[in-house]
Chains A and B, each alone.
Chain A
């Protein structure tokens, strides 16, 4: 789960990670008020879950009241379009207004779990403020890493090593160590999957301050952090994905037009792949999970059909523990009374598959039942090409 910069910085404060003075505002007037209180220069930053805000005009430095007023009005309510938002952009509903700082150095700092080494890694670089992927590709030697073993936890030697590699002076190194310790405590205590500060700045009086802040949380950890789960901003998410999450359906919207309903994440991905292989474009990833009850099938159908791009639906269920005849009944009952106009291809494999297929065929629904995966995939691709053009 992602949170906004202003929410990340609130958490930074709780863990003694220094951030600039500032506050979130939801209207241009409020933003202007905060700017007046903080004094000038100050920075007005759009709060959306996407990078590339600066280049998209979502971050402005105001040197006086007139500029603050102008920028606040320009940013609050703007459609921010960056490479990460897609062409439709994102509506800016909130801004963070912060005091400007006298920066002498920009650094990069992040903590993630290293999958290969199976422990957290702290990454730091002197190349702050840049796209870190680019730095990693061009000059990997400028990204310094220390792994933190769970037996030791974060020790002084870890932060010392990084401070030396970043060429920090004595006072800077001391402040840097305090900040890294706070950030690591936050990472562990709240089950984060990523904390990133880019840039981390050093001011002319040797303060080390998080000028930016990004935190992603491990979805699997949210169950024990209700206060973090409460930070979720559904405005930043795809509405259909929000709807699906209410029913514990694992749904991701894509750009194609063939709606997919599958049980199991691996099979769901493979189903998308085979649709593409036969020349179609999947409209989504959807894992209905192991149970595949009538209720879930119904909700899943509703979500697939409410996507205006959907030209057909492919249901691919491998009935393992669940009997496919029961799944078939669930599908028939779910689709009945929903006034489904698009073509549907259903592939049911596993326990009682003949019975399942018979139920589908005898339902009188305009549905094609298949057993072979390639045949089923070819069929739905073909039907969708002929539909709705």
Chain B
């Protein structure tokens, strides 16, 4: 089970012949991920990493039955790559590319709403279902098959949480990085819903950060719809207002989107909130013990 990706996925890599794309596609294949091909316009008909390369996503779908695409293209072409994958009918698009202009994402996101494609990212580490499929740039070896769902707006902080969960003898059903941009394909609620419906997931770790109101909306959703325990950490408690903290989406503006505000709303809705990132793993254990 798990969510989004598994050993039966048919995955293609947009930008497979680029430096980043080739490196990470190689790592994905090494992990045993079912990568069935790649797309690089102009290099169709060649092979790369022992996989067929196509000129378009449409051709990859037609020839290989691709149903997941992971995107590694330069920032200026990111939105185009997303829209091409959606136009070709790919059900799950994972965009790793960082730095896509916000107005490009406005177009891409509103186009996606007219299709049945789901987008994860952009500017995210990707999705991994341990032991089955690694679709992104996360370090494989810290993951272990298990029953904790992880969803996060950040990259290395997700690795930190995953590592703690693994070290404490638990594992992950699936770990999803939804990305650090203001406009992203899937939000916390989209992923929480999937984890809630997944029988393999017993508890969920949600890692948020300053900016926007996604965590607050998720908090209310969790209270109304989830029976599984949710453990949460919000980064940026010390961030000053008005400054973009690395991620384009991580900015406190007009006094809204502070960590304190988000943590309070999460607590008020019954979520296990930890003060420091080092307590995430141990809080998962406590929450699971309370539940059983």
Contact = CB atoms under 8 A, between A and B. Distances in A.
Contacts, number: 168
Contact of A113 (B160, B182, B255): B182
Nearest to A317: B156
A312 B160 CA distance: 23
Best-surrounded residue of A193, A220, A267, A319 (most CB of chain B within 10 A) = A220
Contacts of B182: 113, 115
Interface string B221-247: 000000000000101111110011111
Nearest to A256: B238
B3 interface: no
A100 B207 CA distance: 52
Best-surrounded residue of A136, A252, A273, A319 (most CB of chain B within 10 A) = A273
Q: B interface, how many residues as a size bin?
A: 35 or more
B277 A270 contact: yes
Given A266-B207, A266-B209, A349 B101 contact: no
Nearest to A273: B237
Given A133-B255, A274-B277, A191 B101 contact: yes
Contacts of B277: 267, 270, 273-274, 373
B157 A264 contact: yes
A140 interface: no
A265 B107 contact: no
Interface in A307-338: 318-321
Interface stretch (A33-41, A116-124, A199-207, A359-367): A116-124
The majority secondary structure among interface residues of chain A is mixed
Contacts of A224: 76, 101
A113 B238 contact: no
A287 B255 CA distance: 24
A149 B163 CA distance: 42
B109 A220 contact: no
Interface in B242-264: 243-250, 254-255, 259
B27 A266 contact: no
A275 B239 CA distance: 12
B156 A266 contact: yes
B139 A115 contact: no
A221 B75 CA distance: 9
Best-surrounded residue of B100, B158, B159, B259 (most CB of chain A within 10 A) = B159
Contacts of A120: 103, 106
Given A193-B102, A351-B141, A374-B276, A321 B27 contact: yes
Interface string A259-277: 0001111111110111111
B216 to A, nearest CB: 11
8 contacts: A221-B103, A262-B156, A267-B154, A269-B157, A269-B236, A270-B277, A318-B159, A321-B139
Closest 4 CB pairs of A and B: A266-B154, A265-B246, A264-B156, A266-B157
Interface of B: 27, 75-76, 99-103, 105-107, 109-110, 137-139, 141-142, 152-160, 163, 180, 182-183, 207, 209-210, 212-213, 233, 235-240, 243-250, 254-255, 259, 275-278
Given A266-B247, A349-B163, 4 more contacts: A113-B102, A266-B180, A267-B156, A321-B137
Interface of A: 113, 115-116, 118-120, 133, 136, 149-151, 188, 191, 193, 218-221, 223-224, 250, 252, 254, 262-270, 272-277, 282, 285, 287, 290, 318-321, 349-351, 372-374
